[in-house]
Amino acid sequence: MMASGYNAKDEDGHIAVAGLGGGALRSRKPENTAFKQQRLPAWQPVLTAGSVLPAFFIIGLVFIPIGIGLYVTSSNIREFEIDYTGVDVSSPCFNCSQNFNWNSTKPCTCSIPFYLDQSYESNVFMYYGLSNFYQNHRRYVKSRDDSQLNGDPTELTKPSKECEPYAFHEHKPIAPCGAIANSMFNDSLELFYIDPNGTKVPVPLSSTGIAWWTDKHVKFRNPGGNPNLTAAFQGTVKPVNWRRPVYELDSDPENNGFINEDFIVWMRTAALPTFRKLYRVIQKRNGLMPTLPRGNYSLDVHYNYPVRSFEGRKRVILSSISWMGGKNPFLGIAYVSVGSVCFFLGVVLLFIHHKYGNRSSSADMSH
């Protein structure tokens, strides 16, 4: 008769088997350590009515006033919006919207009169807005070459495959490459104040200081150290839909090429199909005079950006700002909503605890 037996488990996690063919078998039991045996020190909160109810009421009492303050602040920000798509026959830009496309060579201009019934006292931010434009499409967002935009001379003439089909044109590399750059917003907007005599006085618009500092000084660089951008971009061609090459975007050398701020602002893609991007800043120059006085104005548009093909809309927004930034009522509404829900839940739970908590305590005492 064959005899076999098992010894006690060794400390190293093995089981010794005695008998024919005996050896060491690996045990499935984890090692006897605090981590593997789940004996690490831990803290678990005990949720009681005395701790949960005050938390609900505190959140409600704190969030509701903050939300009201944010909403009132946002409501006090003045905005004026002008839609210049030209869909309506009565619109001054109707002819431009009907006849203009990417291949048009003849420029089209239109002038839109409007009236400001309230003056703007501080700096005014001028935005352009687009609707039904999906900058959040995955292939669109990826269609760029960040190394090229950062001034890498090798990537300048060898754009990334992500840029296809906007990487090469007529066997020459495109700079900047990709679908984002190719679809850059290129309407030119000018603002005029109509004085009481009917004279058009141009409103000075600042085209710098509109991009993020990190984008302007870190992410975007012109290739090489050559101040002559025409030579620096030699061997490349402009994007298909552009009217001029990248080194002619601005006469200011500090705002030209890849570091042009209009270009940088456009390259930061929007998350939603209806969005706005900063176009210009109207600086307050005289402490006694408002930045934009009440009265008649004219918006002159050089219509270069067709949107009718995708049923889009174009608009200009004149906005002031506050300590919390631009107009955004959502944040205040969110705070008030969360605070109200927490306060309401606190009242409901307090009622339930008062009605049924005492009953369960009495039942426990009777037992």
pLDDT at position 168 is 93
pLDDT at position 367 is 55
pLDDT at position 363 is 52
pLDDT at position 364 is 53
Structure tokens given for 355: 């009605």
Q: How far apart are CA 180 and CA 214, in angstroms?
A: 19
Q: 74 CB contacts (<8 Å, ≥6 apart)?
A: 322, 324, 327, 328, 329, 331, 332
pLDDT at position 6 is 43
Structure tokens given for 143: 């269609």
Q: Hey, is 281 helix, strand or coil?
A: strand
Strand order of the β-sheet with 188-194 is: 109-116, 295-302, 188-194, 200-202
> Per-block average pLDDT, block size 10, for the chain (367 residues)?
45 51 67 89 85 93 96 91 91 86 80 93 94 95 94 89 93 94 94 92 93 94 84 92 92 92 96 95 84 94 90 94 85 96 94 77 54
Q: Hey, is 316 helix, strand or coil?
A: strand
